[in-house]
Amino acid sequence: MITFRRLPMLLGAAMMMASAAFAQTTGVINVTGTNPEAFSLTDTTGIPLSATLALGTLTPTNSNSVAPAPPVTVRIRTNKAYKLSAQAAALSFTTPGLPDNGDTIALTDIGFGITGMTLTGVNVANTGSRLESIPSGFDVSGGWPTATNGLTPAFGKTLNDITTDTQILTGTRVSKKGNMATDNNFISVSFGAAALPQYFTPNAGFSSTITLTIASQ
């Protein structure tokens, strides 16, 4: 028998059951992510740059023309304005001969600069109208200077000018999109070195490691 006194309890129970059993029919999925500032320097195959500017054997001749190393081309990709800097380590020599009061080749005898750039690509930001900025002296796209009297010419810049981390190129964002597998979202920058072969102290080889660093402006 249902009485008035029990009805509130029944009603409450019914409401509790209804509340507990009400169906959940909606769900929310929140997808998040971050596109960080990104800069990359790779060789022309897309792997981290490790290349050699080989001046070869510098045998003195009867010429005032410098011996340039085949340039090394670097691919630059960024999603933000960038600055590229370079730093050369001291020269190291293999089997150096005696100077006998002569001169040994030095960082000041090796010209260094940017020999060319390709600034276009379907996914290059502002393709066709890019204006990279090269500090004075580092642009050797017009060629290397000619020597006079068979001595080291007046290079715009030499490796001696980058013995500390030195800015050599700046520009605005390079890549519209794509990653490092993309074949049209980078600019190509070629770096070269040159020296005039002279009667420097003999050696079996010399080298200097140039470290390129790219970062946000």
Partner 1 sequence: MVFGRGMKVVVCTAMAIMMSRGKALAQVLTDTNNGVLSASIPFGNLTPGNSTTPASTQIQFRVRSNNDNGYRILASAVFNVTPTGLLQGGTTVSASDIGVGITSIIPGNATRTPRVDTIATGFNYDPATVAAVNGLTPYDGTASGKATLADIVASPNMTILSGPKIANNQGINNQNNFLTVTITFGLVGQFFTPSTLSGILTVTLVDGP
CB of 22 to partner 1, least distance (A): 5
* Residue 57: C-alpha distances to residues 17, 54, 71, 196, 209 (Å): 92, 9, 16, 11, 18
Print the binding letters for residues 100-129 with partner 1: x by CB under 8 A, - otherwise: -----------------------x-xx---
Using CB under 8 A, count the residues that bind partner 1. Answer: 53
CA distance 213 to 48: 12
152 binds partner 1 (CB under 8 A): no
**Residue closer to partner 1, measured from CB, 125 or 162:** 125
Query: Of 96, 116, 137, 178, which one interacts with partner 1 (CB under 8 A)?
Result: 178
Query: Of 51, 89, 107, 173, which one interacts with partner 1 (CB under 8 A)?
Result: 173
Contacts of residue 116, Cβ cutoff 8 Å, sequence gap at least 6: 71, 141, 189, 190
> Taking contact as CB under 8 A, which single stretch among the options 85-93, 155-163, 182-190, 198-206 is the one that binds partner 1?
182-190
CB of 154 to partner 1, least distance (A): 37
**Angle subtended at Cα 111 by Cα 212 and Cα 141, rounded to the nearest 5 degrees:** 80
28 binds partner 1 (CB under 8 A): yes
21 binds partner 1 (CB under 8 A): yes
Print the binding letters for residues 35-54 with partner 1: x by CB under 8 A, - otherwise: xxxx-x-----xx-------
CA distance 7 to 1: 11
Query: Of 5, 9, 29, 94, which one interacts with partner 1 (CB under 8 A)?
Result: 29
CB of 9 to partner 1, least distance (A): 11
CA distance 191 to 174: 18
Is 79 within 8 Å of 175 (Cβ atoms)?
yes
Alpha carbon 104 to its chain's center: 32
CB of 65 to partner 1, least distance (A): 40
CA distance 203 to 4: 113
CA distance 125 to 201: 48
14 binds partner 1 (CB under 8 A): yes
Nearest to 189 by CA among 106, 71, 79, 109: 71
Binding site for partner 1 (CB under 8 A): 1-2, 4, 7, 10-11, 14-15, 17-18, 21-38, 40, 46-47, 77-81, 123, 125-126, 172-185
